[in-house]
A and B are shown apart, each in its own frame.
Chain A
Amino acid sequence: MGNESPLPRRLASSALFWAAMALSGILLFNFCFTDGFFRIEVRDGRLYGSLVDILDRAAPTMLVSLGMTLVIATGGVDLSVGAIMAISGTVAAALVARPDYSPLTKLGLPPTLAVAAGGAMLAAVLAGALNGALVAGARIQPIVATLFLMVAGRGVAQLLAQGQIVVFRHEGLAFLGNGSLLGLPVSVAIVAAACCVATALLRGTALGLFVEAVGDNETAARHAGVSIFGVVFFAYMLSGACSGLAGLLVAADIRAADANNAGMYAELDAILAVVVGGTALSGGRFRIGGTILGVLLLQTLTTTILTRGVPVEYTLVMKALVIVAVCLAQSSAFRRRIARLVGGKP
């Protein structure tokens, strides 16, 4: 297919096209069959409705996927995001719920929102830096290097929480989970800000290009003078920071940190969203917009299943079918076979 191919054909071969079609299909289904799906009300200066709820629920996955997009673009993968979410949530909760136990209080820092969030983010960035050092510094395969933190991270979170669910009452931290900003949930505002910053950072500067260069062909990038270590290390650190923020939101939402279950399967959802959004697992070109679309598609699917009264159990089955369908739609081998079956040109 060169540049000459007709528009419909080019559209059909674009990965984003299928994700967008699937999303519109689900929205259309809801428009026709679910009462009040598109209704948005204003109560106490805050918007309520299924659409707002989808955005709110999707917020943590969106943040994790943002970091994951960058990591996958460098040709790697970060399996430890769920564990980092658990660590950051636990650190924040422990800092506000057990101030006398925290080392920061001894330094004269009160358990404020800034201290809790700062401590949590610091832990998350450190975890991301560890991944980055293993992958970029020690040149260990990404799946393996991040598997280490995935296995050990939850253990560390459990130790911090002393094996319990850390429940807290804290105005500031709870505001992150349940407050509203300009009518939207705070989480949505944070995600919007994070997406804007990421886009500005990656597309406004040459950084995005460096990331794509490393993912596409590492040797070529090195010869072109790109610092492979710097770029890959940065990607994993950013992924850690994004997961940390997501963990903070999840803990703030339920006003407790559950080291065992927070961020469970987050890595899988994030990888799924990134791939559905048209970023190839082999690295290279990435699409932040596509990832956002992928997350929204998955969350809309989940919310639709819930509001239709279909048992929750089917969500996982539906997700599996979506992955297989999208994988196959993007696979050139599959397209060749179908083309041969239909009798069109191979």
Chain B
Amino acid sequence: MAKRLTRLTVEQEAALGPWADAWIAKALAPGPVDREQVEDGMRRCYEYAGIPWHGNVVWVDSPLVVGFAGPIAASLLKDEAVDGAVGGAIYGAVGGAVYEAVGEAVRGTVYGAVYGAVGEPVDGAVDVAVREAVGEAVDGAICGAVGEAVYGAVDGAVDVAVGGAVREAVEDNWYRYIGGMCWAWWTAYISYFRENTDLDLGEMWDRSRAYEDANQAGWWWPHRDFVIVSEKWSSTPQLEQVGERGWGSHRLHSLTGPALSFPGWDLYYVHGVRVDEKVVLRPHELTADDVWAATNQEVRRTIIDQMGWDRFVSEAGLTLVDECADPGNPGHTVSLYDLPERVYDEPVRVVLVDNATVDRDGTRRRFGLTVPSECGSALDAVAWTFDLDPGVYAGLERAT
């Protein structure tokens, strides 16, 4: 049994990709989870952290409830929530300790001198292939969104709904959770070494199993006297892959329903931008007023994309600056409009062009491209989008 890993075998390297894939699939799979396994894992985590196990586990439907209920319950127990919350202590004793032990065992200075010529550092290979791959597909894409949504709800609702000490308790403590399957990057990375190599970290492996079991569900908010834990998402999160494995690889996206669902809490996303249900399910009901009502520019642009630029341009009463025949697209017109500054930070115009090829529904999609306000004519504008001289673009022979 090895105390330190200096290289991966061919078989171990070959296992990296499938390991990441299996963990991504496991993490994305919807609940319900095996609650006994989770609660037993929590008990063992408390023991490793030296905190007496209370046995009080409250299951709730979503991380939104966790974010509110944990701090509120703590504050109702006449306790300063920050003192009673033990998430940090548990992560430190179990999650953090194991992570550090694995790190020390697979990195280290001896490695560089002796085995530097052999190949990639073990940690680097596993880190990129497993931890980043799983982390970005699950944590980066979904759990960042969940955190923002909970934070948004806390920020928006608490002021109105509750007062005084409870408000402070929620605002200051909602984030003292442990991520459950949101943090699958941890279990994927750690369990890779545990299950695929002969690295011997003794009791640390037992701690890792406890933490892994406890994190099979959703967010959990551990307190000295209770745990509030969320079920996993109730259907598989809808993701689109926008890059290679690693940083920024996935984002939430669905044009047919919620991209992320918990019982009683549906979240809608278009290309990673959170929007109201109507934007996704009933885009034909969208109006220019919905665009102006949105407080965030990304959301405004997403609403415009969903309602269609041509409809937005006419409903918002934008001013036509210029029109010309579309080069290479006979019978079609390019139109340039002024766009109010409320959509972008700077003065911008939008040029509307018809697709040069018929779309699946037999029509030609008319879409808008934003251009700098310096573009004085429709031809200038469409030429700018390709960084071409307008005179050159006018000679376009064929467009598809």
A and B physically associate: no
